[in-house]
Amino acid sequence: MNRVSLSRFLIEAQRSPSPINADLRLLIEVVARACKAISLAVNKGALGNVLGEAGSENVQGEAQKKLDVLSNEILLDANEWGGHLAALASEEMDDPHLIPNRYPKGNYLLVFDPLDGSSNIDVNVSIGTIFSVLRCPEGVTDPSADDFLQPGTRQVAAGYTVYGPSTILVLTLGNGVHQFTLDREIGSFVLTQSDLRIPEDTSEFAINMSNQRHWEAPVQRYIAELLAGREGPRGRDFNMRWVASMVADVHRILTRGGIFMYPLDAKCRDKGGKLRLLYEANPMGFIVEQAGGAASTGRERIMEVQPHTLHQRIPVILGSKNEVERVAAYHAEG
């Protein structure tokens, strides 16, 4: 079998008719290397003393786990010195992190959720890393938070790593979605699936049902119809899955279809939603659209939302196209 490593895939992307530039290649390689280090730490678990609370809070008032902090540090350390970035921003840092003056600066901005699914760390359930790559605006040498406030349509690349039974990196450079599996013996990510496609129809949904009483009417209607199954208006049974790690739920949808929802509800209305626009909704929206799916807030396409703050939250409805469009239609009907 002729195996294609991530490095080879990226070098070939550099030689393609619409070539990626060398800095972007380096950036993806560096993020992938950092994800390998995070994967190792995750696998060591209690033996590596990486489980449990860090004893601190992030800017959003959430208790940080040791692995949230460690993963953030791994991504920062890996990306600081390569010369490909102007700045980084993360769920776990209040403000953007500028590249120190002792290192060269590049033209990209990297924004990430270093460890997604924190509530699953200590129970040995799949978790992940999500990242998004933007261009630093022309002429800006010391980017501020405002420079990160670009709609998702401006993403140059996006990806996630899921630390599950195997470690898998899923990547889009705006030209389809590709999947790489970590070969631990060789220490490299190997292409295991090109051009992932999300089926347009599905009979599987993912939502935290415990929030049902807080949902808005369009989501109440949609889920009630799914739950009614064969006897209801949809005329067939639907299955439910909720891992509570967005990466794992999205990965399942990329693999076999489905719809994932963290809609607006009365509990999170004041914050605008639960999931974060810049480092959760946008990169996942980009990946899902590149795989033929759709990503909406219920009222608009996620990738067209103009962000106002770095840690902005947003409702997320994504996955199989026909289901996402149906939920959006229910919102439009009011």
Cβ atoms of 187 and 154 closer than 8 Å? no
Residue closer to ligand AHG by CB (options 24, 297) is 297
Q: Does 319 bind ligand AHG (CB under 6 A)?
A: no
Among 13, 74, 182, 246, binds ligand AHG (CB under 6 A): 246
Q: Does 249 bind Mn ion (CB under 5 A)?
A: no
- 112-120, 210-218, 311-319, 321-329 -> range binding Mn ion (CB under 5 A): 112-120
| DSSP labels, 224-235 | HHHHHGGGSTT-
Among 43, 144, 166, 208, binds ligand AHG (CB under 6 A): 208
CB of 191 to ligand AHG, least distance (A): 26
Q: Does 204 bind Mn ion (CB under 5 A)?
A: no
How far are the Cα atoms of 133, 285, 291 from residue 171, in angstroms, in the given order?
A: 11, 12, 11
Q: Which residues pair with 132 in a beta bridge?
A: 111, 158
Q: Does 147 bind ligand AHG (CB under 6 A)?
A: no
Q: Does 244 bind ligand AHG (CB under 6 A)?
A: yes
Compute the distance between CA of residue 65 and CA of residue 277 in angstroms, rounded to an integer. 21
Beta carbons within 8 Å of 156's beta carbon, 6+ residues apart: 24, 108, 133, 134, 135, 173, 174
Among 31, 79, 111, 116, binds Mn ion (CB under 5 A): 116
Compute the distance between CA of residue 92 and CA of residue 113 in angstroms, rounded to an integer. 8
CA angle, residues 320, 325, 327, in degrees to nearest 5: 100
Residues 38-97 that bind Mn ion (CB under 5 A): 91
Among 13, 88, 105, 113, binds ligand AHG (CB under 6 A): 113
Compute the distance between CA of residue 309 and CA of residue 301 in angstroms, rounded to an integer. 18
Binding residues for ligand AHG, rule: CB under 6 A, are 91, 113, 116-119, 208, 244-246, 262
